[in-house]
């Protein structure tokens, strides 16, 4: 396969990156990619309950970073449940352990002593141009924003995987990360800083077909084989829904943070429904409304050049082929 979009991985000035995730199979893919991005200095990762419980997302995060050869990256333990409602997980997609049943070697590194919200704030103090990519329920981020009122404006950019201008995947009107903790998402969207929402509008288009996932495995590295094996259950589930392949929701958000050129995004107001009986967890945007919301500095990511996305993903995963 010719790589139409081989991005030159010149070692530019690295931008400090903090990832908050509920390490399931697509979070793991994002961590493997982030670990190899020359444009970012991955300075911290926090685990939150979401796809599966924190008792799995925390070790999954540590162990995937070890698989990526990145035990240099500190990992923080976050929230084990949403701010104000019970945790509802997604083992039918990610498997009971969150990694599609694949057991990784345990990382030699342990989680840091301070909790995720303190780890994120300390990172924002240390790195003035910190980029936050949050690809799980926003519980940790909201707790950090509530505890440290000056935190939002200390971030240079926040990109989330979550929400949807149209549709939903856990209910007809809500996407998993947002409906798992809508109160947390409401805090983040109301924090006074622009949020980039990489929701289902774009992430359903950021997929690998079954054949492309097979091709990924053919790279033959432990990281590629893990990516292939861990995503088999999710692939089968998504194919059963009539989707064209496995949607790599979290890598899409990470790739937006790195290079917006393969995406289309529009400015909008975004609010979260936290009380609806049918619409709870819906991210309401004013994209297609003549009545505009007062705050319209958020961006909704709507489209992606899938070829560029696939090319970037393979280019990053090929880096594990180099000893």
Give the binding site for ligand RIB (CB under 6 A): 22, 24, 26-27, 50-51, 135-136, 161, 169, 175-177, 249-250
Q: Measured from the CB atom, is 29 or 304 closer to Ca ion?
A: 29
> Choosing among Ca ion, ligand RIB, none, which partner's interface includes residue 175 (Cβ < 5 to 8 Å by kind)?
ligand RIB
Residue 159: CB minimum distance to ligand RIB, A:
12
Residue 27 binds Ca ion, judged by CB under 5 A:
yes
Residue 258 C-beta: closest distance to ligand RIB, Å: 17
Residue 94: phi and psi, rounded to 5, are -100, 0
CB of 257 to Ca ion, least distance (A): 15
269 binds, among ligand RIB, Ca ion, none (CB under 5 to 8 A by kind): none
CB of 29 to ligand RIB, least distance (A): 9
Distance between CA atoms of residues 109 and 112, nearest Å: 9
Quick check: 110 and 59 in contact, CB under 8 A? no
**179 CB-near residues (< 8 Å, 6+ apart):** 168, 170, 171, 280, 281
Q: Are 47 and 22 in contact (CB under 8 A)?
A: yes
Least separation in angstroms between residue 223's CB and ligand RIB is 18
135 or 193: CB nearest Ca ion: 135
Concerning whether 249 is annotated as a catalytic residue, the answer is: yes
Radius of gyration in angstroms for the set of CA atoms belonging to the chain, rounded to a whole number: 18
Distance CA 323, CA 320 (A): 7
Residue numbers 109-148 binding Ca ion by CB under 5 A = 135-136
Point out which span in 205-213, 237-245, 248-256, 276-284 binds Ca ion (CB under 5 A). Answer: 248-256
- Residue 176 binds which entry of Ca ion, ligand RIB, none, CB below 5-8 Å type-dependent: ligand RIB
Return the ∠ at Cα 182 (arms to 178 and 184), rounded to 5°. Answer: 100
Listed ranges 67-75, 196-204, 244-252, 304-312: which one lies at the site for Ca ion (CB under 5 A): 244-252
Helix (H) or strand (E) holding 317, with range, is: helix 306-318
Q: Which residues contact 18 (CB under 8 A, 6 or more apart)?
A: 43, 44, 45, 46, 120, 123, 124, 130, 131, 132, 133
Catalytic residue among 92, 94, 249, 298: 249
Burial of residue 214, with CB atoms counted within 10 A of its CB: 0-12 exposed, 13-18 middle, 19 or more buried: exposed
Known catalytic residues? Answer: 249
């Amino acid at each position: 396969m010719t790589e139409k979009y081989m991005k030159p991985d010149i070692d530019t000035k690295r931008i400090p990156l903090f990832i908050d995730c509920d390490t399931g199979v697509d979070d793991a893919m994002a961590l493997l990619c982030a670990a190899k991005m020359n444009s970012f200095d991955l300075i911290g990762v926090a685990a939150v309950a979401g796809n599966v419980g924190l008792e799995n997302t925390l070790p999954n995060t540590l162990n995937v970073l070890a698989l990526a050869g990145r035990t240099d990256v500190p990992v923080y333990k976050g929230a084990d449940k949403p701010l104000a409602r019970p945790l509802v997980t997604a083992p039918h997609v990610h498997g009971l352990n969150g990694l599609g049943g694949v057991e990784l070697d345990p990382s030699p590194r342990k989680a840091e002593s301070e909790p995720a919200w303190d780890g994120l704030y300390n990172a924002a103090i240390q790195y003035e141009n910190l980029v936050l990519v949050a690809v799980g329920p926003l519980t940790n981020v909201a707790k950090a924003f509530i505890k440290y009122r000056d935190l939002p404006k200390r971030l240079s950019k926040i990109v989330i995987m979550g929400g949807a201008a149209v549709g939903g995947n856990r209910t007809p009107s809500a996407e998993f990360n947002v409906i798992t903790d809508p109160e947390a998402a409401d805090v983040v969207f109301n924090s006074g800083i622009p949020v980039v929402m990489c929701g289902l509008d774009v992430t359903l288009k950021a997929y690998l077909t079954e054949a492309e996932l097979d091709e990924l495995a053919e790279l033959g590295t432990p990281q590629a084989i893990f990516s292939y094996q861990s995503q088999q259950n999710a692939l089968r589930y998504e194919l059963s829904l009539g989707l064209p392949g496995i949607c790599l929701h979290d890598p899409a958000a990470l790739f937006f943070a790195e290079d917006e050129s393969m995406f289309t995004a529009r400015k909008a107001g975004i609010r979260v429904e936290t009380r609806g009986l049918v619409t709870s967890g819906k991210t309401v945007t004013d994209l297609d409304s003549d009545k505009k919301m007062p705050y319209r500095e958020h961006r909704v990511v709507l489209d992606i050049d899938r070829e560029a996305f696939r090319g970037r993903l393979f280019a990053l995963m090929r880096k594990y082929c180099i000893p």
